[in-house]
């Protein structure tokens, strides 16, 4: 089973090293397109200012699996397609991997075994999306079936039709019958999921919502979400947290009329191995960022 992990990243150093550390042993290739899309270029950005480039350029790669493509992109579709020409033609599956997504070793093994036994044409994966630190994750809307389409049967020359949602366009039609495995079925069958550190760090959420509010979701996003919801919840007392949740039917940045309920609940499981190994540094970074925004 030959897996190519494809990643686009710009200023995504939060759990990037942990993401790569977990995926590396299972990859045939890891292709990374790095750089800003037009929105960030208009803000005067030409390259990541955080540790993203240092991490990807210095990540241990004894088997020469990693290829980095630096550039300036119009949008994320172009950025994702920039690495497609480097995909090995004998790749079995292209796995869309975000820099804030980390998998447990056992889940990677289960998923790859599942690909072998079920031979799906595409796979959605359930997301355990952490919010306001490492102790809570989002329910409701964030757990909706196939919110995260991640794995696609690869044929030589295939490219991304869209990045949102991830949709692969084949030059050579698939020889097999369409066999999509949705995220609910995958989780029911093998219990595997993404550990998604997407709403953890204040600076991360601030940049994410700024981009989505201006370019992607626009009027569907809560106005002043970062202050009204994220910081209000993270810095609030227990009663204040409940007030924020009641007002917005949860804490996701989409307005509740578009996404329904999305409440955070306490996480009681285990984080992926690489996250656990670096939890002290990660929590220190979270705490230091909070001090800046207080």
* CA gap 120, 275 in Å, rounded: 29
Predicted confidence pLDDT, tens digits, the chain (294 residues) = 999 999 999 999 999 999 999 999 999 999 999 999 999 999 999 999 999 999 999 999 999 999 999 999 999 999 999 999 999 999 999 999 999 999 999 999 999 999 999 999 999 999 999 999 999 999 999 999 999 999 999 999 999 999 999 999 999 888 878 899 999 999 999 999 999 999 999 999 999 999 989 888 889 999 999 999 999 999 999 999 999 999 999 999 999 999 999 999 999 999 999 999 999 999 999 999 999 987
* CA gap 22, 25 in Å, rounded: 7
The single-letter DSSP state of residue 236 is S
**pLDDT of res. 182:** 98
* CA gap 292, 206 in Å, rounded: 13
Roughly what angle, to the nearest 10 degrees, separates helices 105-118 and 16-23?
Answer: 50
The two structure tokens encoding residue 181: 């495995």
204 neighbors 210 (Cβ within 8 angstroms): no
* CA gap 69, 86 in Å, rounded: 10
* CA gap 205, 35 in Å, rounded: 18
Q: Residue for token digits 């201006």?
A: 214
- Burial of 218-229, coded b for 16+ CB within 10 Å and e otherwise, reads eeebbeebbeeb
* CA gap 204, 137 in Å, rounded: 16
Can you point out the beta strands (E) in the chain?
3-9, 29-34, 66-70, 93-96, 101-102, 122-124, 127-131, 136-138, 149-153, 159-162, 167-169, 180-181, 194-199, 264-266
**pLDDT of res. 175:** 81
Q: Residue for token digits 């306001």?
A: 132
* CA gap 290, 201 in Å, rounded: 8
Alpha carbon of 109 to those of 25, 82, 294: distances in Å? Answer: 10, 28, 42
Cis peptide before 88 (omega within 30 of 0): no
Global pTM reads 0.96
**pLDDT of res. 174:** 87
**pLDDT of res. 177:** 83
Q: Which residues contact 11 (CB under 8 A, 6 or more apart)?
A: 48, 49, 50, 52, 207
**pLDDT of res. 167:** 95
**pLDDT of res. 224:** 95
């Amino acid at each position: 089973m030959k897996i190519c992990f494809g990643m686009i990243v710009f200023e995504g150093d939060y759990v990037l090293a942990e993401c790569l550390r977990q995926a590396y042993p299972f990859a045939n290739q890891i292709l990374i397109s790095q750089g800003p899309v037009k929105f960030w270029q208009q803000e005067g950005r030409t390259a990541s200012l955080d540790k993203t480039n240092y991490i990807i350029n210095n990540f241990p790669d004894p088997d020469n699996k990693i290829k980095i493509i630096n550039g300036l992109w119009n949008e994320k579709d172009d950025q994702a397609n920039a690495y497609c020409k480097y995909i090995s033609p004998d790749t079995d599956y292209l796995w869309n991997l975000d820099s804030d997504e980390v998998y447990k070793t056992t889940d990677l093994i289960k998923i790859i075994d599942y690909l072998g036994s079920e031979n799906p044409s595409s796979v959605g994966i359930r997301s355990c999306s952490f919010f306001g630190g490492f102790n809570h994750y989002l329910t409701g809307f964030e757990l909706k079936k196939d919110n995260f389409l991640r794995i696609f049967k690869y044929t030589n020359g295939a490219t991304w039709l869209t990045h949102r949602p991830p949709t692969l366009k084949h030059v050579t039609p698939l020889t097999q019958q369409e066999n999509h495995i949705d995220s609910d079925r995958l989780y029911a069958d093998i219990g595997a999921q993404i550990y998604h550190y997407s709403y953890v760090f204040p600076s991360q959420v601030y940049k994410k919502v700024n981009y989505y509010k201006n370019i992607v979701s626009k009027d569907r996003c809560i106005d002043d979400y970062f202050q009204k919801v994220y910081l209000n919840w993270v810095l609030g007392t227990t009663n204040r947290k409940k007030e924020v949740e009641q007002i917005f039917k949860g804490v996701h940045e989409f307005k509740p009329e578009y996404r329904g309920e999305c409440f955070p609940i306490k996480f009681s499981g285990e984080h992926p191995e690489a996250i656990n190994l670096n939890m002290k540094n990660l929590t220190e970074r979270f705490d230091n960022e909070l001090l800046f925004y207080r």
